[in-house]
Amino acid sequence: MKRLYVAYGSNLNLEQMSYRCPTAKVYGKGMLYGYRLLFKGVPGNAYLTIEPCKGKRVPALIWEVQSKDELALDRYEGYPSFYYKEDIPVELETGEIVTAMVYIMTNKIKDRIHLNSPSQSYLRTVKEGYKSAGFDLSFIDEAIEISTKRGK
């Protein structure tokens, strides 16, 4: 059975994913409805996560992953203490709705519960991924605006 994975942050970056998960293949582009993007962490070193938010949406790249890819992602995402996994519905560009696994930041680590700004290198990686996927950078801009205003 194929395992689908939703990337909405740095794993949109094709070069990074090909290094981390060499057998992963892009399955399609889609949208997470009813969620919004946020940066959480310490000032200057926050990472993207999603949270339920009525009327919002988050663009995502859907990957088909093998079990060894998922293990590599688990390590990278700090599963289960930093991020937990959840299966959620994703609407593909084609209109098809698939269920895919997504990583969402936990509130177990005190440094990771506050909204804050990302590092410049992380932000650059995320923006490169957004550009290569053809996603609108306004989603990132909005996440930064919400996260830096609320984080103070």
- Residue 136's pLDDT is 96
Binding residues for substrate: 5-10, 122
Binding residues: 5-10, 122
**How many CA atoms are closer than 13 Å to the CA of 110, on its beta-carbon side?**
0
| 129: enclosing H helix or E strand | helix 120-133
Q: Using an 8 Å Cβ cutoff, are 72 and 21 in contact?
A: yes
**CATH number of the domain located at residue range(s) 3-150 in this protein:** 3.10.490.10
The answer for residues whose C-beta is within 8 angstroms of residue 73's C-beta and 6 or more apart is 5, 11, 20, 21, 65, 79, 103
Q: Using an 8 Å Cβ cutoff, are 39 and 147 in contact?
A: yes
| 146: enclosing H helix or E strand | helix 138-150
- Residue 8's pLDDT is 97
Per-residue pLDDT of the chain (152 residues; tens, 9 = 90+): 689 999 999 999 999 999 999 999 999 999 999 999 999 998 999 999 999 999 999 999 999 999 999 999 999 999 999 999 999 999 999 999 999 999 999 987 776 778 999 999 999 999 999 999 999 999 999 999 999 985 44
Q: At 148, is the secondary structure helix, strand, or coil?
A: helix
Q: pTM of this prediction? A: 0.93
Give the burial string for 53-67 (b: 16+ CB within 10 Å, else e). eeebbbbbbbbbbee
The catalytically annotated residue of 77, 86, 96, 128 is 77
Q: Look up 77 and say whether it is catalytic.
A: yes
Task: Read off the amino acid at residue 139.
Answer: F
Q: At 51, is the secondary structure helix, strand, or coil?
A: strand
- Residue 151's pLDDT is 42
